[in-house]
Structure formats: C-alpha cells, structure tokens
Homo-oligomer: A and B are copies of this chain.
Amino acid sequence: MSTKPVPDIVVARLPLYLRALTAMQSSGKTFVSSKEMAQWLGISSAQIRKDLSHFGEFGKQGMGYAVSELREKLRRILHLDREWPIVVIGAGHIGSAVAAYPGFASHGFRVCALFDNDPAKIGTSIAGLCVHDVRTLPEFVRAHGVRLAMLAVPAEAAQSVAELAVSAGILAILNYAPLNLMLPDHVRVENIDPALHLQHMTYYLG
C-alpha cells in the first residue's frame, strides 16, 4: 500500500471548489469547465484539473464537469456527507459570534455546546446554546463523540484548555487564540487571527 498522500495544499483548495460548485448549482448550471471555475475563483484552470486528478477522473472530455456529481464527489472526499458535531470553548465575544454564525450549520457542522470557566456565564444560554462549565468538557466530548473544537479563549488559557480537549478525544481544533498551540502530531490545528492578516496587508500600504 502506502499510496502517496495528496498534498495538503491541494486538500485546502477542495472546499473552495465545493463553494464554487454550490454557487454554480444554485444558479442552475449543470456542466462547468475548469476554465469557468478558474475565472470564478481567480486561479488557473490547469491547477483545478491537476488538483482534481489526484482523486480520480471526474470530467467529461469536451464538456467539463457535471456540477452536482462533482459536488457530491468532493463532499464525500472531504467527509462532508454527514453531520459533524462541534464544541465551542470560550463564551466571550468571539465564542458567542462563532456559536451564532449560521455559516456552520449550513455546511453540516452542528455547534452543540459552549464551554467557559466564568461562573457568571455557566448555565446561561447564548445563541440558543447552553453554556457549560469547562470542567465538564471531557465528559461531554466523550459522551457525544465530538472530534472538532473551536477554541476562543484568551491566549493565556489556550494551551491548557487545548490539552484538556485533546485528552478527551478532540482531534482537530480551529484556534482563534493568538498563539501557536503545541499539541501531539495526530491533532490537526488551524489558526484564525485577523490581526495577523491586517499586519500582513499594511506591509503593502507603504
């Protein structure tokens, strides 16, 4: 066995293709060429064809790709053909906004609980979700088989809370705290830090 793994950078673009296909589909298109998608996404058509070729031959020569078929294929590849429960850790501004964001549910992610360590917040309800004591996180994660977490706590608390989550079985963390989490290799971490993006952009604003 040991087939060469698909480069991570390619996997990262699949959700983009999925987004384009969903838009195409709702605008009634049934076939789309790599060139059209490329223009829509602002990348090259060769890249799209090469990326997709890692997973199979999805196109029809001379006419492009069947929109809904390719969309289904990508959903399966990304394991989006089922619902993913997620926990949000941290019920401050970011955690609350994240929990209320409708963009997750519409993609098959179900935010199922919020956790915090502030007694004033525990027991209250935010965006229709109960705020639990963070100490009950491991129990909850195990009981519900949750694998995904979004971490929105202050930087000082992030590392230890992340470890707690991982010890309970969390395998992937979307981290909003502005630091690098140090976690075992089997845990996938992606970071979102708007300040970093702004600092990147100001470089070009001479």
Interface residues of A (CB under 8 A from B): 11-12, 14-16, 18-19, 23, 40-42, 77-80, 84, 86, 93-94, 96-98, 100-101, 103-104, 107, 109, 147-148, 150, 171-172, 174, 178-180, 182, 188, 190, 192-206
Contact = CB atoms under 8 A, between A and B. Distances in A.
Nearest to A18: B199
A2 to B, nearest CB: 16
23 contacts: A11-B203, A12-B200, A15-B196, A19-B178, A19-B179, A23-B179, A41-B180, A42-B180, A77-B203, A78-B199, A78-B202, A79-B202, A79-B205, A79-B206, A80-B199, A93-B100, A96-B97, A107-B195, A148-B198, A148-B202, A150-B194, A172-B204, A174-B201
Q: Which 3 A-B pairs have the closest CB atoms?
A: A97-B97, A15-B199, A172-B201
Given A94-B101, A188-B201, 20 more contacts: A11-B203, A14-B203, A15-B196, A19-B178, A40-B180, A42-B180, A78-B203, A80-B199, A84-B205, A97-B97, A103-B178, A103-B193, A104-B195, A148-B198, A148-B201, A171-B205, A174-B201, A192-B192, A192-B194, A192-B197
